[in-house]
Structure formats: C-alpha cells, structure tokens
Structure 1
Amino acid sequence: MSERVTGLGPIDNFWAVVPAGGAGTRLWPVSRAGSPKFLHDLTGSGATLIQATVERLRPLAGERVMVVTGAAHAEAVAEQLPDVPREQIVAEPSPRDSMAAIGLAAALLGRDDPDAVLGSFAADHVITGPEAFAAAVHEAVDVAREGYLVTIGIEPTFPATGFGYIQEGARLPGHQSAARVRQFVEKPDAERAASYLATGEFRWNAGMFVVRATVLLDLLAQWHPMLTAGLRAIAADPARLGELWPTLTKIAIDHAVAEPAADIGRVAVVPGAFGWDDIGDFKSLTELLPKGDGPVTVVGDPEQVQTIDSAGLVVTNSGRLVALVGLDDVVVVETDDALLVASRERAQDVKQIVEALKAAGREDLT
C-alpha cells in the first residue's frame, strides 16, 4: 500500500492549477468573452466562481495555487485573487484549449520540482460538500504519486446527456476506492445515458485531473511530441511564450492524453461523493440556486423584480425594475446593454444568439 496523505494541512508538493478560460456563451449576456462566467457571482454567495474555487483549494494546496487564464482576463483575475502572487497567474496569449493551459502549468511546475503533483480544477464549477471533495483529492494525489493520471468522477444522479462519462474498471489494490478507467465516452443520448446509470459502472466526467507534472508531460509526449516540446521550451525560457504559443496544438486534455492513456492502463478514477455542477446554462443555474419563497428565483436585488402569476429565473444587475406577468418557465436576464428572454427548456440555445451576434459583427455584445 502506498503512503496515504493525511492531516488537515496542505498536501506536500501538491499544486492546485485553475484553468480559467472560455466565454460561457450559454450564460449570455452575463457571461461574455470580455467578462466570462468565472468572474461573476452567479450563486449569490458573495464570491465569484473563481474566488470560490481558490477558497476551496486553499486547505489542500496552501499558497501553491496557479491560475492559467487569457491575457485579457489576467488583470481581473489578479484583482479578484489578491492573495495569489502575480507570478502564479499565467496569461495565455490566445485560447489553445485545455491541454496547452494545463500542460504549460505542468511544464513550469515540473521544471522547479520533479515531485510536484498538480490537480486541475476548472474556475467556473460549483462544488458542495467540501469534506468529501478534500477526501477525493487526497486519495487522487495518493494514486497520482504512483504514476497514474487520475480523474475524479462524479456520482451521477440522473441520466444526463450534457456530460461525458467515465467507465470504471478493476479496483486499484491498496486504495480505498480508486479504480482503473476502462474508457471515456462522449455525451450520450438519453437512452444510452440511462443504460450507463443502470450498470453502476459510469461516472460523470467533470474534467478534474490529478497527476505528477512530469508524468503528464511524459504521457503527452507519446502522442503529441511537438506540443510537449513547445511547452517545455516555454518553461525553459518564458520569454518565448509569445513566439511559441501560436504553434501549439489546440486540443483538450481528454483527447490529447486521458483517452489514449486509458487504453494503456495509465488512468485511474477516484469517486467524487460531493455535489458538482458546471453551470452549463440558465436552466442548470435555476436548479442549483436555493428556492425562495415564490416561484421566481432572483439573482440580484429581489426588490427590483415584481411578478404576477409567473415562474422561472430573473438575473438583474442594472438597477431597473423587471416585471413579469403571466409567464411560466421563463428566464429573464437583464444587463446594462442587453436583455435576454427565453424558456428554461431552451436555455442551451442561448449560445445561438451569441453566434448570430458574431456573424452580424456585434462583437461589442459578445
């Protein structure tokens, strides 16, 4: 049995890496390219999503927190996270998907500490049950020290069609609940999702990965040697970031490393027995928020919302009064320069509005 990490303090050699990218187009007009969802307090907690993420990781990593974000958001991130040293906020010149972001963090950390273990946790997810989350990360680090790429799989509560899935294989000897990963599967249709739940072998893929920094780069080199070489070159000479970054392959970590590594038995999964939501759209936000006294959930000042025979979600931050009459299952999102009205069932289609605005040249609204 490997030595298990115990205690209440930060885990030795563990770094929390927080990729903070994406525009969250399904949450427009609150989330935009210039002000993505992780910079907003969408849950009414008093903290933005990225602030809540870092706060959740502090007990596990202490001061070892690294954020990888777009150059356009680096200053806003630094303002929201004043306790994170500026040199630990890495600015990407342009979006190159999750593998480049996490891989750059691995290259930087592995350069300075060959024993560094990184855990990658998205900046815009909501997690409840901090003790269960911490327990899962502790076990994941324990397994990662043995050379595995470890993912934390969420216990599915319904046959979701909006998430990818992880299929568990045989249990890993000497560990409490970790198992090998048989395969990663893409977002299924409703029938297949129901069949996954029926087997009891599948978990939601929340995109949480824990791995030794050097192991991640060694695995990546097997399938993407040029990408790995570019990341290592940037880590060796950060002044070359602007030169080399545009040459890096644009690919997600799942496709670049996790899926092929699972095929050769190098990926493990640790069950996550905690609440998790990626706030993919306004419907999921409605289900996540605590229910108020009435049928309308309000994000913002409830005094600015008046309703008669209506139900749904209102997000308001402009100070104007929002009045609803006779509307059911509705989403109303009101900002200084845009107003969205949609049904909750069509919340996924909000991204089409963003696509239409881009096609019309309205970059000022996207």
Structure 2
Amino acid sequence: MTIDSEQHDPTARDRVAGPGLDRFYGVIPAGGVGTRLWPLSRAAAPKFLHDLTGSGQTLIRATYDRLAPLAGDRMMVVTGEAHQDAVWAQLPDLDRTDMVLEPEPKDSAAAIGLAAAILYRRDPETIMGSFAADQVIGPVEVFQAAVVEAVATAATGRIVTIGITPTHPATGFGYIRQGQALDVAGAPNAKDVAAFVEKPSEDVAREYVDSGEYLWNAGMFVAPVSLLLQHLQANEPELHAGLTEIATAWGSARQDEVMARVWPTLKKTAIDYAVAEPAAAAGDVAVIPGHFTWDDVGDFAAIARLNPARDSSGITVIGETPRVYSSKASGVVVTDTQRVIALIGVEDIVVVDTPDALLVTTTEHAQSVKQAVESLKAHGDHDVL
C-alpha cells in the first residue's frame, strides 16, 4: 500500500487501495472534557482542541489527517454544539452536512449510533470507521495499514475493532482476547474476538500481556453501518428508535426540532456495552492487531511521557510563551501565561499555569486531578471548569 505524504489532501483517497475502501466513511467522535487534564482541558476547550505533543497540530486535526488518505472527503465529526466554531476552525475542509452537533453529551453509543444511522440513510452499504479525536498514534502508515485490514474484514460482514499491542500491564484499559485467525482477503492479521475484558488488576494485566493473547481496547471500530445498527436495535431498542427518528429528519426542516426533542431522552451508554460486547458474544466481531504506538493522553503524566525534556534541565515545557527556570528538578510545565515559573529541588513535578487556575501535582498523582475537578464542581466553581 502506498500512502501519499500529503495527508491533508482529500484526493489522496485514490492513492490507497484495499477491499471495501470505496464504501469507507471516517467518523470522528469528539467529545469528553478530559477532566484529568484540567485546567488545560475544560468544557469550552476540551483536550482534542489542544496541541499536547508539540507537533503544531491539535489532536483532532491530527486524527483527521490520519484518516484523510483513506476516506478522502467522506468524513464526519460528532461533537458538542459548544465546540462547533472551534472544530470548523480546525477542519475547514469538512463538509457542513458532516458536522453532527450534540445538544448535550450522551456517551459513545448515541454519538456513534447517530453517525451510523445518518450514513445508513445516505447509503446502507457504507462501512464506517470510528476513531476518537483525542488519541496520539504513530507511525501513521502502520495505523493506516491496520485500518485497511479492518475495512477489508468489515466488508465480509463483521464489526471490527483495532486492538493495540500492549507494551506494559496497564490497569486503566479494557482488553480484547484474540480468538482464531480468520481467512480474509486483504486482511492477513484478522482474528476472531473471543471476548472483551474489563479493566484488570495489575497481576491479571501482567498475565494478559505475558500470554500474548490480549490487546488493549482503544475504542476503534470499523463496521458496516447496517450491522452496527442491527446489534444496537437488538440490545438497546429505545436508543436505536430515537437515533433512527433523528436520522430520518436529518437534513430536513425538522432536523433541529427533532434533535432538540429526542436527544435529551436518549440513554447514556458506551458503544462497548450497547454493541461490541453482545456482538462479540454472537460471533460477529473481529480484531486487527495494531502494531503502532497509541496513547489516549489521559493525564499529565502522559504529556510528560509524550514530550520528553529537550535538554538537561529535566523539565518538559509546553506553551507559546514559557518562562521557566529549573534547578535539580524534573517534570512537566504547561503554561499559557507570561508568569515566571521557578522549580528548585523537586522531582516529577506537574505545573499547569493558566490565567485563572493553577495546578501543582506530581506525575504519580496525575490521575487524581479528576477528583479536584469533581470537588470544584460540587462547590459551584463552574467558572473554571
């Protein structure tokens, strides 16, 4: 397979070959606040709208560019109404009819299900691929090769997930147990999914990694929209009915009225529970192992990991106007102020400096930032959330 380096060019679609790609539509769910990245990530500016890798690209732009050579201009984004202008600014080539705006967050089953329902009404033969807007992936060519295999497998009538080859016994991710190899033209690495497994303890996670049979569940799904909707209807009939009603009105004069009336009534549930797990039990799910690096940038420890210190200071600094002094210190500083930050004799420190909020913690306790956000919310400090 040949991937053109101009990944932002929608015409690059014609330069990638693979069974089913002529039916492929890329879908980017862009939701979630990323509370563990507060105060950088907030309701009005979630993590997918930030450059967290120093690449010069926001996470959603990087996601779009990874998919463009495969999907061309057949791309859809599902995001919150509050983020419409910011997403337009990041993705000016996105067709206006392919921006799906949620009045309020409803979790992944509603977001991905609505995209599938809209695409089904346009063309019931569509194969959609859902890839979250806030993940860091590389090398891009290895990811794209896995997607090509996933599309080829989906074209045989399967829901396909791309599982990540684990690098350590992570306890924060769900796992996928691989089953028998499948005989799929264009997808030599395709396997049956034996089971989806919830987040394990560290000892169990180590057993999973050592066995070589398990992959991390990164929430990447490629599927014929008809099959995805079939399983959604079987397992969440009320959710399916509501999404179908919205999709039926999509593009008409009734679109806004139906969305405003139906969306608030929809059940909040994850696509894993509503579709993937029951479909796997029915033997309808396959997996493609992804041999690329993957990070969901879940906290500031991840940012430190993705952005190693560039010099002997030991401090990773992210920001357009950083003024940081350090001595015998290590860690990460994220700043968008002019304030001078001096770090002396501290290890694995995390400092996030914004005009109205300051976070100081350590990489070890980075996951606990979410608790601070919950406390601020409970005390009514919504102005900084």
Scaled to the shorter chain, the TM-score interval is over 0.9
Correspondence for 1:26: 36
Q: Is the 8 A contact 2:34 2:46 kept in 1?
A: yes
Contact 1:330 1:342 in 2 (8 A): yes
What is the distance in 1 between the residues matched to 2:311 and 2:375?
Answer: 37
TM-score, scaled to structure 1: 0.96
Deviation at 1:7, TM superposition (A): 5.1
RMSD (CA atoms):
1.4
Which amino acid counterpart does residue 321 of structure 1 have in structure 2? V
Q: Deviations over 1:270-309 (max 9, x none)?
A: 0101111000001111111143112111111475111111
Q: Which amino acid aligns with 1:225?
A: P
Q: Distance in 2 between matches of 1:227 and 1:335?
A: 40
CA contact (8 A) 2:321 2:336 kept: no
The answer for the alignment partner of 1:305 in structure 2 is 324
Is the Cα–Cα contact under 8 Å of residues 9 and 59 in structure 1 kept in the other structure? no
The answer on 1:185 being equivalent to 2:204 is: no
Structure 1 equivalent of residue 290 of structure 2: 272
The residue aligned with 2:9 is none
2:142 to 132, 138, 146: 132
Equivalent residue, structure 2, for 1:162: 172
C-alpha distance after superposition, 1:113-134 (max 9, x if no partner): 1111100000000001111111
Amino acid at match of 1:288: L
User: Aligned partners of 1:95 and 1:103: how far apart in 2?
Assistant: 13
- 2:218 and 2:301 map into 1 onto residues whose CA distance is 18
Gaps of 5+ in 1: none
Residue 15 of structure 1, aligned match among 8, 25, 32:
25
Is the partner of 2:359 in helix, strand or coil? strand
Corresponding residue of 1:51: 61
- Percent identical pairs in the alignment equals 55
The answer to whether structure 1 residue 230 and structure 2 residue 230 are counterparts is: no
Q: How does 1:1-366 map to 2 (within 5 A)?
A: 8=16, 11-174=21-184, 175-238=187-250, 239=255, 240-294=258-312, 295-301=314-320, 303-366=322-385
Q: Secondary structure at the match of 1:146?
A: coil
TM value normalised by structure 2: 0.92
Are residues 317 and 303 of structure 1, via their aligned partners in 2, closer, same or farther at CA, if it must alter by over 3 Å?
Answer: closer
Unaligned 5+ residue runs, structure 2?
A: 1-12
Shift of 1:25: 0.3
Q: What whole-Å deviation, never above 9, does each CA across 1:152-204 have from its counterpart, x for those lacking one?
A: 00000000111110000011123401111111111111100001011110000
Match of 1:68, SS state, is strand
CA distance 1:85–1:9, shift in 2 (3 Å): farther
Structure 1 CA distance for aligned equivalents of residues 209 and 339 of structure 2:
45
Answer whether contact 2:150 2:160 (CA < 8 A) is retained.
Answer: yes
Counterpart amino acid of 1:274?
F
**Partners of 1:101 and 1:32 in 2: CA distance:** 20
Range with greater deviation from structure 2 (63-72 or 223-232): 223-232
- Letter of the 2:274 partner, please give it: A
Output the CA distance in 2 between the equivalents of 1:281 and 1:254: 23
